Chain A
Amino acid sequence: DGGITQSPKYLFRKEGQNVTLSCEQNLNHDAMYWYRQDPGQGLRLIYYSQIVNDFQKGDIAEGYSVSREKKESFPLTVTSAQKNPTAFYLCASRNKQTGVDQPQHFGDGTRLSIL
């Protein structure tokens, strides 16, 4: 079945460590997005990419980095500069090829915690 796969489901980070969250989609979607969700908060946009080898900062990009080397993959690195990384991270993708704006579809998230 087509969909968005995020891994791992749970991740623990030590102080000063960078960690990378994986997001893979087989929907042939052009656009991909990373969000952070904190308890009682809405989803906040970290980075997004509308085409391979190009990406833009969202509202809370500081302490995060991304790459988009392949259409199917959009990994997110949480760097040691992100001082409060504990959150639920969601990846989404969207089909841009049709004329009507299509909805974003989400993976099932990665929960990141500090050791």
Chain B
Amino acid sequence: EDQVTQSPEALRLQEGESSSLNCSYTVSGLRGLFWYRQDPGKGPEFLFTLYSAGEEKEKERLKATLTKKESFLHITAPKPEDSATYLCAVQPAGYSTLTFGKGTMLLVSP
């Protein structure tokens, strides 16, 4: 069974304090790994897709990396507006559906 585990469940940072979120996965062949940002009461907003180990993607203060067992979302010098829940999802090979983790709730204080 495909599984996605995100850690920590919640993370509180001071503005400018860099950190990383973890997404560990077990899947029988990875087609793609997706990162989303979700604000309260809103739908998830797509951030990145990673396809193979060693791949990296960047967007503003966010950088996503992928290994064969996990993905990291690095947040450099975060700002309060980066506060949100970050979701990780995997698409197994041969499937068009996603398996989501429970998310990491990030709070960045000024």
Please determine whether chains A and B interact with each other in the same assembly. Answer: yes
Which residues of A line the B interface, CB within 8 A? 4, 6, 31, 33, 35, 40-45, 48, 50, 58, 90, 92, 94, 96, 101, 103-109, 111
| Binary contact track B19-49/A, C-beta < 8 Å → 1, others 0 | 0000000000001101010000111111001
Interface contact A106-B43, CB-CB below 8 Å: yes
Interface contact A40-B43, CB-CB below 8 Å: no
Residues of A contacting B46 in the complex (Cβ-Cβ under 8 angstroms): 103-105
Interface contact A43-B49, CB-CB below 8 Å: no
Given contacts A101-B49, A103-B46, A106-B44, contact A43 B100 (CB under 8 A): yes
Q: How far is the CA of A4 from the CA of B42 in the complex (A)?
A: 12
Interface contact A42-B42, CB-CB below 8 Å: no
Q: For chain A, what secondary structure do more than half of its interface residues adopt (helix, strand, loop), or is it mixed?
A: strand
Interface contact B97-A45, CB-CB below 8 Å: yes
The smallest beta-carbon distance between A56 and chain B, in angstroms, is 9
Interface contact B101-A103, CB-CB below 8 Å: no
Interface contact A48-B97, CB-CB below 8 Å: yes
Interface contact A42-B4, CB-CB below 8 Å: yes
A31, A44, A106, A109: the one contacting B41 at CB < 8 Å is A109
Nearest chain B residue, comparing its CB with the CB of A31: B96
Interface contact A108-B4, CB-CB below 8 Å: no
B36, B45, B96: the one contacting A48 at CB < 8 Å is B96
| Binary contact track B68-110/A, C-beta < 8 Å → 1, others 0 | 0000000000000000000101010000111011110000000
The smallest beta-carbon distance between A46 and chain B, in angstroms, is 11
* Most central of A35, A48, A106 by chain B CB within 10 Å: A106
The smallest beta-carbon distance between B65 and chain A, in angstroms, is 18
Residues of B contacting A58 in the complex (Cβ-Cβ under 8 angstroms): 97
Known: A90-B44, A103-B49, A108-B43. 11 other contacts (CB 8 A): A48-B96, A90-B43, A94-B96, A96-B96, A101-B31, A104-B98, A105-B46, A106-B44, A108-B41, A109-B41, A109-B42
